[in-house]
Amino acid sequence: MVLQKILAGVATAGTTATVLTRAGVVRPYSPLVLARLALALRAWGPGPAGGFTTLAVRNPDGVGLVDELGSLTFGELQARSNCLARALADLGVGEGDGVAIMARNHRGFIDASIGAAKLGADVIYLNTAFAGPQLVEVLERDRPSVLIYDEEFADLVAGVDVQHRVVAWSEGDHAGETGAPTVQTLIDRYPGHDLTPPRRHARIVILTSGTTGTPKGAPRSEAGVGAAVSLLHAMPLRHGWRTHIAAPLFHTWGFAHLALSMLLGSTIVLQRRFDPEACLRVVRTEKCESMVVIPVMLQRILALAPATLARHDLSRVQVVASSGSALPGDLATSWMDRFGDHLYSTYGSTEVAYASIATPADLRAAPSAAGFPAYATTVKIFDDAGAEVPAGEVGRIFVGNGLLFEGYTGGGRKDMIGALMSTGDVGRFDADGRLHVEGRDDEMIVSGGENVFPHEVEDCLARHPHVVEAAAIGVDDVDFGKRLRAFVVLDDRSCDEDALKGWVRDNLARYKVPREIVVVDELPRNATGKVLKRELVTWHEPSPAQGDA
Question: What b/e string do you get for 179-214 counting C-beta neighbours within 10 Å, with b at 16 or more?
Answer: ebbbbbbbbeebebeebebbeebbbbbbbbbbbeee
pLDDT tens readout for residues 370-422: 999 999 899 999 998 999 999 999 999 999 987 777 667 666 677 889 999 99
Q: What is the pLDDT of residue 324?
A: 82
pLDDT tens readout for residues 302-333: 989 999 999 999 999 999 999 988 888 889 99
- H/E stretch holding 438 reads strand 435-440
Lowest mean pLDDT among 27-41, 71-85, 347-361, 528-542: 528-542
CATH architecture of the domain formed by 445-536:
2-Layer Sandwich (3.30)
- Binned at pLDDT 50, 70 and 90, residue 439 comes out as confident
CATH class of the region 45-222: alpha beta
Q: What share of the chain in percent tops pLDDT 90?
A: 54
Residue 514, pLDDT > 70, answer yes
- H helices, E strands: number in the chain: 18, 25
Q: What is the pLDDT of residue 547?
A: 37
Lowest mean pLDDT among 264-268, 306-310, 352-356: 352-356
Q: What is the pLDDT of residue 11?
A: 44
- Binned at pLDDT 50, 70 and 90, residue 40 comes out as confident
- Binned at pLDDT 50, 70 and 90, residue 534 comes out as confident
Q: What is the pLDDT of residue 218?
A: 65
Its pTM stands at: 0.86
pLDDT tens readout for residues 151-172: 999 998 888 889 999 999 997 6
Domain boundaries, the chain: 45-222, 370-440, 445-536
- Binned at pLDDT 50, 70 and 90, residue 281 comes out as very high
Q: What is the pLDDT of residue 175?
A: 45
Residue 32, pLDDT > 80, answer yes
Q: In what order do the strands lie in the sheet with 217-220?
A: 164-167, 146-149, 98-102, 122-125, 203-207, 217-220
- Residues ≥6 apart with Cβ < 8 Å to 227: 256, 259, 353, 354, 403
- Binned at pLDDT 50, 70 and 90, residue 210 comes out as low
Let me know: does 209 contact 110? Beta carbons within 8 Å.
Answer: no
Let me know: does 58 contact 77? Beta carbons within 8 Å.
Answer: no
- Binned at pLDDT 50, 70 and 90, residue 135 comes out as confident
- Residues ≥6 apart with Cβ < 8 Å to 61: 73, 74, 75
CATH class of the region 370-440: mainly beta
The reply to whether 370-440 and 445-536 are identical in fold is no
pLDDT tens readout for residues 44-92: 888 888 889 999 999 999 999 999 999 999 999 999 999 999 999 999 9
- H/E stretch holding 349 reads strand 343-349
- Binned at pLDDT 50, 70 and 90, residue 204 comes out as confident
Q: What is the pLDDT of residue 173?
A: 47
Residue 542, pLDDT > 80, answer no
Average pLDDT of 262-271? 95
CA atoms of 294 and 140, how far apart (whole Å): 30
Average pLDDT, the chain: 87
CA atoms of 527 and 126, how far apart (whole Å): 11
